[in-house]
Structure 1
Amino acid sequence: MTWTVDQQLELSATQAVEAIQAGQLKAADYVATLLARAQALSNLNALTVLDVEGALAAAQRIDALGASERARLPLAGLPVVVKDNINTRGLQTSAGTPALEGFVPARHAPSVQRLVDAGAILLGKANMHELAFGITSTNLAPHAGPVRNPWDPERIPGGSSGGTAAAIAARIVPAGLGTDTGGSTRIPAALCGIVGLRPSVGDGGTQRRYHDPQAVVPISHTRDTVGPMGRTVADVALLDAVITGHGPLSPAAVTNLRVGLPAPLWEGLEAALEDVARAALAKLEAAGVTFVPVEMSELLALNDRVSYAIALHEPIDDLAAWLVANHAPAQTVAEVAARIASPDVRAAYDAVLADARGGDYHGAMTVWRPRLQQLYAQTFAASGLDALLFPTTRLAAVPIDELNGSSRVSIDGAAPIDEMEAYLRNTDPASNAGIAGLALPAGLVDARLPVGLELDGPAGGDRRLLAIGLAFEAILGTLPAPEI
C-alpha cells in the first residue's frame, strides 16, 4: 500500500513497526517523512541534534533485510529520539549545558543499545531542561533555548524531558527516551498529552528496573532513571519490554481493579484540571473500576524530608563520577557549574556545591525514605490496592519565562508558589519511594491544553502497572495531534 505523509505521521510506534515488518512501509520512506517533519517544526526547539545521514543509513539497512530478519527485530525501523543527557555513541550528549556541548560518548547507554539492537533508529537527541534540574525545559538562548509545547508554543512542555515529549506530541517521532528524577518523564507527558513511564528504582541499586550505570548525566543515583515515552501505553510497554527483555503484555481486567485515590494529591488543584480528572474517573468507574479513598496524611511531609536532601547532595559525587568515567571535557562539578547558562539551574548548583543539604542526607536515607516507602507499602496492602491514581500535575502548562527559566505560578488566583514545587508535588513522592509511575492523558483543559493522570504501583509492579494503563487507555482514549 501507499502511505500518505499524514498517515505516516499518525502511526503509533507499534503500528509503524508492524507496517515495516510486514513490508508495507519502507523504513527509509518513514524516516525521510519524520526528518522533514522535524525540520519543518524546528521552531519548537524539541531537538538539539538531528542525525539526517545516520538515520537514513540505518533505515536503508533495515530495508535491506529479508522479511524473516525484520520480523525478528521487535523495533524494526522505529525512529526514536533520546534525551540529551543519555549517552549515545556518535551523537552529542550535552545535558543542555555549555560545559558539555559537543561531547560525544564512546558508547550507548545500555537502554539505548537495547533499542538499537532491536532495530530502532536514532533520529536525534532531544532538548531538555539544563542538567535535568528543572520542570519547564526553558533554557536561556542562545545556548539550548526553550522547548515549546506543540499545543501552544508560548507555553512550557514540562520537563526536564520536554524535548522528547514535544517531539512525540508534534509527530516528529512516535516514541523516545527521557529520564526521570522527580517527575521528568511524567510531567512533560501530562502537559504534552502523551504517555510517560518512570520505571521502578527501588533501592537505587540492584532493585533498578533499568540499569544504565555511568551512562546518564546524573543528578541522583537514588532517584534517576531512564524512562520510555510514547503516544500510547502500548508504545511505552513495547520499549519497556525491549529494554527489560520481557514479552508482550495484555490489558488488565478493569472489573477486578481496586485503585486508591490519595487525598493529599487531589487537593489544591486547578479547578479546570480537576474537572477533567474527575470526568475521567467517572468513565473509569462506569467501566467497573473500584476507587478507594486513602488518606496518606503523612505523604507530603515525609517527602519533604527526603526530596531536596537527596537531590542537592548526591550530584556532588554522582556527577563527578560520570564526568571522569566518560572522559568528559569538564572533569569536575565546579567546572560544569561555572558555565551553567540558566539562572534557576545555577542557583540549584550553588546549593549543590555548598552542600547546603548535606547535613540532612543521612537522615533522609536511613529514616525518612524508609518511612515513606513503608507508607506506600502499608497503603497498598491495607486496602488491597492494585494502584494509586491522581492528577499528574496540579495545573496545566503555563507560559514560558524566557528570562529566568522558571518563575512563580498562581493556581486559580491563589498566592504564587514556586513553579518547580507546584509541578513536582504529585510526582515527587513516588520518585523518592523508588516505585513505578505511569502518566497518561486525562483530556484537555478548555479544549486546548492537555492534562494527565498518574498511576503509581507497588514496588517492582511495573508490568502490572502497564497492564492497568493499557486498560485505562482503552476507556479514556488518546489525544489527537495538536494543531501546529
Structure 2
Amino acid sequence: MANSTEATAAEIVAAIRDKKVTAVSVVQAALDRAEQLKHLNAFIVLNRDGALAAARQVDAGQRAGPLAGLPIVVKDNINTSDLPTTGGTPALQHARPARNAPSLQKLLDAGAVVIGKTNLHELAFGITSTNLAPFAGPVRNPYDVTRIPGGSSGGTSAAIAARIVTCGLGSDTGGSTRVPAALTGTVGLRPSVGNGGAERRYHDDNQVVPISHTRDTVGPMGRTVADVALLDAVITGAPLAVAAPLRGVRLGIPACFWNGLDRDVEAVARAACAKLAGAGVVLVDIDMPDLFEQNGKVSFVVALHEPIADIPAYLAASGIEGITLADIAAKVASPDVVGAFGAITTDAFGAAYDDAIRVQRPALQAIYAAYFRDNRVDAILFPTTIAPAPLIDETNGSSEMSVNGGEPAPTFGTMIRNTDPGSNAGLPGLSLYAGMTSDGLPVGLEIDGAVGSDARLLGLGLSIEMILGSAPPPKL
C-alpha cells in the first residue's frame, strides 16, 4: 500500500489483514486528515474514541470480516446508536436513535470503523449541502472550496474526494448520492427502490431521517466503483460485482438529458462517449420526449407530502421522544429548507398526492419500461448534472445559478434535472467520474438501469471506469 490515500477499500482491508499496517494506524491517519481538513465542513462530528477503540479490537483479532479495520463515514441522517443523528438540523442536534440503520449495521458487522458522521444539506432537503444550521455550516468542494460539493450527501462525498476515507454511506431521494459524486469526482450508487416496497435493494425503513418512504434510500459512495461495489455486496449479501464486457452493450442516449448542457460538461461527456464507443459500446441515440414533463407530475408532490407522516413515524421508530414534526419545522435554519417545510406543514400538495402515486408515477415508469424494451438498451447514459459545481451561496442555501451565461435559474432544479426522473421511477443509478472541466472541476456520467439491474450497473461501471479512469486528487 505504497500510496495509502489512493488505495481502494479492498486494498486497505487486505493490508490490515496481512499485517502490513495496523487498523489503528489507518484509522488514526483518517482522523488526523479529517482534522487537518476541517475547513471543508465535511463532518458534523468525529468519532475519535469510538473509532480507535474499534480499530484496536480489529488489531487484537476481536473484530473480523470483509471490511475489518476499514475507515468509513456515515451521512448524519442515517441512524447510529452510539452517536447523535442530527439530520443537520437544530431540533435533532442531540437526538440519539435506539439502534443503527440496518445497512450501516451490516457494514459494522463486517468490521468497518465509523470515523464520523458527515454534514449534509439540512434534513437532506437540498442539493448544495450549504447547511446554515449553526453547528453544521456549508460543506465545501475539495476541488474548489468556494464551490458546493453537491448534496444532500455533500459531506460524505467531500470526505471521500479529500482522501479522508475511501468510502461511506449517503442517502438519495432525488439525486443525493449521485449529484455530489459527480461534482467531487467520486462514485455514488442509488440502489433500486421501485415503489418503495419489496423491490428495494436496501431495507432501512424508519431508520433514516426521512423525506419520502417511496423514494428515499441509503446509497454507498466511494472513490472508485470497486469501493461502492464492495459496500453494496456487504449490505446485500449478493456476490461482489465483476467487470462486465462492454462490446455490444447498448446504452441509450436520450436527447432530453443532453440538451442545455454547460459547454465544458458537454465536451467532457461527449469525449467519454467516444471512448466508450471505441471500446465497442453501442450508443443508441433515441429520445424520451415526454419524460421531464411526466416527472414534474410526480416529484414535488411526493417529496413534499410524504414527510407529514414519515417524519413522525421515523421519530417513533427511532425512540426519539419529545420532538415533533412541528418542532423540527420551527427550528429549521436554512432559508431554502424553511420554504420546503412551509409547503409540508400546510400540506400544499396533499390534494394531488393520490393521483401522483396511482396514475402519474406508473405512467412515468411506463415510459422507462417502454424505452428499455423497445430500444433493447442495457442502461441509459447521460451527464449526472448539466453543469459543474456552482459557487456557494452562504445566505440562502440554494439560490440561483446560470448555465453558459444564460438567465439565472434555481440551483436545485438545475442540478437535479437529470437525476430526478429515475429517482421517481424507482430505478437504480450509478454516477462515476467522466473527466475534468477546463477549470479543474469534476464532471460525472450516470448510467440508469431497470429496477433490479443494480449488479449489472455496477459491472458496467467497473468496466467504464477502466476506460475513463478515476479523478486525480484535489490540491488541498
TM over 0.5: yes
In structure 2, distance between residues paired with 1:8 and 1:53: 22
Provide the residue aligned with 1:46 in structure 2: 42
Provide the residue aligned with 1:393 in structure 2: 385
In structure 2, distance between residues paired with 1:220 and 1:479: 32
| Partner amino acid, structure 1, of 2:13 | V
| Partner amino acid, structure 2, of 1:143 | F
Q: State the Cα deviation string for residues 116-165 of structure 1 (Å, max 9, x = none).
A: 00010011100000000000000115231100000011100000000000
Q: State the Cα deviation string for residues 143-198 of structure 1 (Å, max 9, x = none).
A: 31100000011100000000000000001111000000000000000000000000
Provide the residue aligned with 1:451 in structure 2: 443
Q: 2:159 aligns with which of 141, 163, 167?
A: 167
In structure 2, distance between residues paired with 1:10 and 1:253: 25
Provide the residue aligned with 1:217 in structure 2: 209
Q: Secondary structure at the match of 2:143?
A: coil
Q: State the Cα deviation string for residues 442-467 of structure 1 (Å, max 9, x = none).
A: 11111510010000001110000100
In structure 1, distance between residues paired with 2:413 and 2:321: 32
TM-score w.r.t. length of structure 2: 0.98
Provide the residue aligned with 2:14 in structure 1: 18
The 8 Å contact of residues 99 and 330 in structure 1, kept in 2 or not, is answered as: no
| Partner amino acid, structure 2, of 1:468 | L
Provide the residue aligned with 2:431 in structure 1: 439
Q: State the Cα deviation string for residues 263-307 of structure 1 (Å, max 9, x = none).
A: 100001101110000010011111111100121111000100000
Provide the residue aligned with 1:472 in structure 2: 464
2:235 is the counterpart of 1:239 = no
Superposition pairs of residues 276-295 of structure 1, within 5 angstroms: 276-295=268-287
| Partner amino acid, structure 2, of 1:131 | L
Superposition pairs of residues 326-337 of structure 1, within 5 angstroms: 326-337=318-329
Q: 1:384 aligns with which of 376, 382, 392?
A: 376
Provide the residue aligned with 1:415 in structure 2: 407
Q: 1:60 aligns with which of 16, 35, 56?
A: 56
Q: State the Cα deviation string for residues 97-133 of structure 1 (Å, max 9, x = none).
A: 0000021212100000000000100111000000000
Q: Secondary structure at the match of 2:297?
A: helix
The 8 Å contact of residues 143 and 341 in structure 1, kept in 2 or not, is answered as: no
The 8 Å contact of residues 77 and 123 in structure 2, kept in 1 or not, is answered as: yes
Q: 1:28 aligns with which of 24, 33, 49?
A: 24
| Partner amino acid, structure 2, of 1:212 | D
Q: State the Cα deviation string for residues 354-401 of structure 1 (Å, max 9, x = none).
A: 111111111111111001111111101111111000000010001100
The 8 Å contact of residues 98 and 319 in structure 2, kept in 1 or not, is answered as: no
2:4 is the counterpart of 1:8 = yes
The CA deviation at 1:248 is 2.0
Q: Secondary structure at the match of 1:291?
A: strand
Provide the residue aligned with 1:128 in structure 2: 120
2:369 is the counterpart of 1:373 = no
Provide the residue aligned with 1:181 in structure 2: 173
Q: 2:188 aligns with which of 196, 200, 206?
A: 196
Q: 1:363 aligns with which of 346, 352, 355?
A: 355
| Partner amino acid, structure 2, of 1:473 | E
The 8 Å contact of residues 100 and 330 in structure 1, kept in 2 or not, is answered as: no
CA-based RMSD of the aligned residues comes to: 1.1
Give % identity: 57
The CA deviation at 1:480 is 1.3
In structure 2, distance between residues paired with 1:270 and 1:449: 12
The 8 Å contact of residues 122 and 132 in structure 2, kept in 1 or not, is answered as: no
The CA deviation at 1:331 is 3.0
Question: Unaligned stretches of 5+ in structure 1?
Answer: none
Provide the residue aligned with 2:89 in structure 1: 97
Provide the residue aligned with 1:353 in structure 2: 345
The CA deviation at 1:330 is 4.7
In structure 2, distance between residues paired with 1:446 and 1:415: 22
* Cα gap change, 1:329 to 1:401, in 2 (>3 Å): farther
Superposition pairs of residues 123-162 of structure 1, within 5 angstroms: 123-140=115-132, 142-162=134-154
Q: State the Cα deviation string for residues 330-352 of structure 1 (Å, max 9, x = none).
A: 53211100000000000000000
Provide the residue aligned with 1:312 in structure 2: 304
In structure 2, distance between residues paired with 1:329 and 1:475: 51
| Partner amino acid, structure 2, of 1:88 | T
In structure 1, distance between residues paired with 2:451 and 2:238: 18
In structure 1, distance between residues paired with 2:450 and 2:133: 41
In structure 1, distance between residues paired with 2:360 and 2:255: 20
The 8 Å contact of residues 92 and 105 in structure 1, kept in 2 or not, is answered as: yes
The 8 Å contact of residues 444 and 450 in structure 1, kept in 2 or not, is answered as: yes
The 8 Å contact of residues 76 and 119 in structure 2, kept in 1 or not, is answered as: yes
In structure 2, distance between residues paired with 1:378 and 1:196: 26
* Cα gap change, 1:266 to 1:347, in 2 (>3 Å): same
Segments of 4+ in structure 1 off by > 3 A? none
Q: State the Cα deviation string for residues 192-228 of structure 1 (Å, max 9, x = none).
A: 0000000000110111100001100000001000000
In structure 2, distance between residues paired with 1:248 and 1:344: 40
Q: Secondary structure at the match of 1:294?
A: coil
In structure 2, distance between residues paired with 1:179 and 1:104: 19
Matched positions, count: 476
Q: State the Cα deviation string for residues 425-476 of structure 1 (Å, max 9, x = none).
A: 0000000000100000111111510010000001110000100001100110
- Range with greater deviation from structure 2 (98-107 or 158-167): 98-107
The 8 Å contact of residues 44 and 135 in structure 2, kept in 1 or not, is answered as: no
Q: Secondary structure at the match of 2:73?
A: strand
